[in-house]
Structure formats: structure tokens, C-alpha cells
Amino acid sequence: MKSIQSVRGMNDLFGEDARFFLFLQEKLGSLFSACQFELLAPPILEKTALFARGIGNATDIVEKEMYTFTDREKESLTLRPEGTAGVVRACLEQGLIHNQIRKFWYLGPMFRHERPQMGRYRQFSQFDAEIFGIATPDVEAEALSILALLWQELQIDKHVRLEINTIGTLEERQQFREAFIDFLTPLKADLDEDSQRRLTTNPLRILDSKDPKTQALLKDAPTLSACLGEASRAHFKTLRSYLDALCIPYHLNPLLVRGLDYYGHTVFEWTTDLLGAQATVCAGGRYDGLVSELGGSPTPAFGFAMGIERLILLLKKTNFQLQDASPQYFIVAEEGQMTECLLLLQDLRRQGISVALATGGGSFKSQMKRADKSGAKYLIQLGGEDTLAGCSHLRIKDLRAEHG
Ligand code: HAM
């Protein structure tokens, strides 16, 4: 019978990737906890309306990438394509953010029906951080400085670059949108196919079209920055002054608009040259309108998400060395000594010592092979011919010395 394969774009996590995943989970969880972020983990499945309303009906994600199905109660449900909408829903439902400053993090799988390739999957993991209740750019600088610190600690700071932009308020974007549509409508036939469609559904996204012909036409187009008012400019200027003071280098990218509708003011992406087309490792921005869009009172918010698989690819590309996970000790069991070995194993583990045991027995030679393979530093042998009679039945060998 033919064996059943996994779903395209949904991968098993094991081996080296799994070790990197565990390392990042621990690293990110402890870093963000130390920065006063709390864990908030909403479910993977939400009502479809949450994403349609939260992310925006005219986005690629909602239009063509969601895993949506009708359940047994005839309700339309969706595997979350991103985490922010679910976090806001949870905050409102649990009363977590009304008139409060709160910071949350979470890590888990997201689902998008995209064309799979290196760095782009249909099930992938994001680490997300979301901050509620602060409208000023200092919180944006704080978040970006945590990320800059993380890149340094992961030794990839030389391989990532920060791109930032401001897309202003809803009213400013509306003003730009009208001027932009007026400019592009007579040129519609010369735009790429996606941009032609977006001209009526989501014109802002035309700005980040990858089509060279479309990009050439945009050279003379009205700019979003020309539509920004004093307050929006001042907000962005202050953020930039903080980044300068923190010595966090950035590139201004006036074409950066992001693929989710909830953003306003600051948007950013950290990209790398080492991952081909899937260059964005971490991305986010300000989304002051989302909480009220989803039924809460107006609440400023800022957040970001990083793709864990892309981060793992980048760490592997840059030869990041994980700490050795081998046990310190490996116990080999002589025939008839298993009970004592199990007791010793339990005792050592109680003391926090990293140790493994050759359960399943086998010949001394095969146990030695297992000890070797485990990477342990020391071998513990109970019983055996050359133990010191009357003293102890325990012998410790330095495996490294013997094999060095
Ligand atoms: P996003 O830009 O859609 O933003 O995704 C964030 C990151 O998730 C990307 O930069 C990338 O590293 C990773 N990612 C996205 N799609 C895939 C995929 N198909 N395969 C592998 N990795 C992928 C958001 O999702 C927003 N919710 C971020 C945010 C949080 N904004 C505010 N708070």
C-alpha cells in the first residue's frame, strides 16, 4: 500500500532544525519576559470574520491564502494566518487592555496557502510581540532596540538590515489613495496584472509591486510622504532620532507599505541578503486602529512578528553554533545491575546532572558504542571485573581523554 505523505508546504520538525527551534523558543521567551512581556497564546483556530475584518478583505492573505472551512456547527472557521488579530480578540474578550499598558509575546504555528519554496511554507512558526496602550514613538524605539540586541546575541546583526517607513493616518492614506488612483487610472493597461486588480481593491500595495515596468511608472506618481501632516512627520522624526541615538542603523524605504490593512504610522521590516526571495525575517508596525475595528475602545498598539523557520535558515547559513546538548555522563549497565543503574540515574537527575543510561542492555561493546554516539564526557560503569572489591561498584571513565 502506498504510504501517506504530509501536506505540501507543511513540514515535520526534527533533528538540527528542532534543536534550533528549542533554542530560539527558550532564548526569545526569556529575553522578552525579562523585558516585561507576558505570554498570551490564543487558539490556532478562530472565526473567519476575525481575519476578514482584522487583516482586511482586500489583502492577499484574506483574498487567497486562508485555510477556511465550515465546521460541524456550520460555522466558518480559519486556521490563523497571523497572530495579531487573535491577540486583540483575546485582549478584548478577557478585558486585558482597557486603559492599560500591556505587553505580550507568543510563539506558534500560522497557516497561509502560499506557493511553497525555501523560507516560505504553508505552516510556519512566528514569534510575535504586541504592545498596547502607548501612542508615542519611544515604545517603537524600545521594541526595535530589543530586536537589535537579539540580532547581536545571535551574531547575525551584520546580515540583517532595518527598513522603516511611515504610512501616516487613515485620513492621510485616503488622501494619497485618491491622488494615486487618479494618476494610475489612465496608465492601467501598462501595470502588471496584480497591480491592475489592486488599483480598485488595495492601491497602496501597488507601491511594493516587484514588476519593473510598474516600478518605472511609479517614479512620477504622487508620494505618500507628500500627504503626511505635521503630527505624522513629527512622530516619525522622533522615532528616527531615537534610533540614531541608539546607533541602530536603518534605511528609509518610502515604498514599504506591508501586506496587512491594520497598519498606520510606523512600519518596518528586517531583511537579509542571505535567504534569496524570502528576505524578510521580522516585520511589523503600529496598528492604532485595530482594537476599535474589532469592537474595543480606541487603543494605540505596536507589534511585530518574526518567522522562526527563516531565522533558523539564517542561523544555519551563518554557522551559528548551538550549545552541545550531549549528556555529561552515560551509564552502561552490566547484566543484573539494571535496578541499581536506574536508581543511580534517578539520583543524579534529581541533582540536576545531565546523564543518560543504556536502557535495553545489550553487549558491553554495543553499550560503549551508544555511549560514544551520545557525546557524553564520562562513562559510568556499575559492577564489572575491575571494580575495587569491597569499596564501590562504580567506575568512571573519561571518554574524551580515551578518544582524544
Ligand atoms: P507578516 O509580515 O505577514 O506580519 O509576517 C511576519 C513574518 O512571518 C515575516 O516577516 C516572515 O518572517 C514570516 N512569514 C510570513 N509568511 C511566511 C511563510 N509563508 N513562511 C515562512 N515564514 C513566513 C504579520 O504576520 C503581522 N501579524 C506582524 C505583526 C505583529 N504586526 C504587528 N504585530
Summarize pLDDT for 7-62 with one digit per residue, the tens: 999 999 999 999 999 999 999 999 999 999 999 999 999 999 999 999 999 899 99
Best CA proximity match to 37, nearest among 118, 131, 157: 131
Q: Which atom of ligand 1 is nearest to the CA of 280?
A: 10
pLDDT tens for residues 363-373?
Answer: 989 999 999 99
* Mutation probe of ligand 1 site: the residue of 310, 313, 315 with most atoms within 8 A of C-beta: 310
Q: What's the gap in Å between 306 CA and the centre of ligand 1?
A: 6
Taking residue 82's Cβ as centre, other Cβ atoms within 10 Å add up to 20
Contacts of residues 197-204 at CB distance under 8 Å and 24 or more positions apart, as own/partner, are 198/58, 201/58, 201/63, 202/56, 202/58, 202/59, 202/261, 203/177, 204/167, 204/173, 204/176, 204/177, 204/180, 204/257
Pair 269, 66: CB distance under 8 Å: no
Residue nearest to atom 2 of ligand 1 (CA): 283
Q: Which atom of ligand 1 is nearest to the CA of 61?
A: 3
Is the CB of residue 130 below 6 angstroms from any atom belonging to ligand 1? yes
Q: Which atom of ligand 1 is nearest to the CA of 114?
A: 19
Q: Which three cell numbers stand for residue 136?
A: 508615542
**135 contact partners, CB below 8 Å, separation of at least 6:** 288, 300
Residue nearest to atom 30 of ligand 1 (CA): 304
Q: Report the relative pairing of strands 160-166 and 251-252 from DSSP bridges.
A: parallel
DSSP conformation class of 280: E
Please list the pLDDT of the chain residue by residue as tens digits (404 residues).
Answer: 899 999 999 999 999 999 999 999 999 999 999 999 999 999 999 999 999 999 999 899 999 999 999 999 999 999 999 999 999 999 999 999 999 999 999 999 999 999 999 999 999 999 999 999 999 999 999 999 999 999 999 999 999 999 999 999 999 999 999 999 999 999 999 999 989 998 988 898 899 888 999 999 998 999 999 999 999 999 999 999 999 999 999 999 999 999 899 999 999 999 999 999 899 999 999 999 999 999 999 999 999 999 999 999 999 999 999 998 899 999 998 888 899 999 999 999 999 999 999 999 889 899 999 999 999 999 999 875 544 444 447 889 999 885 54
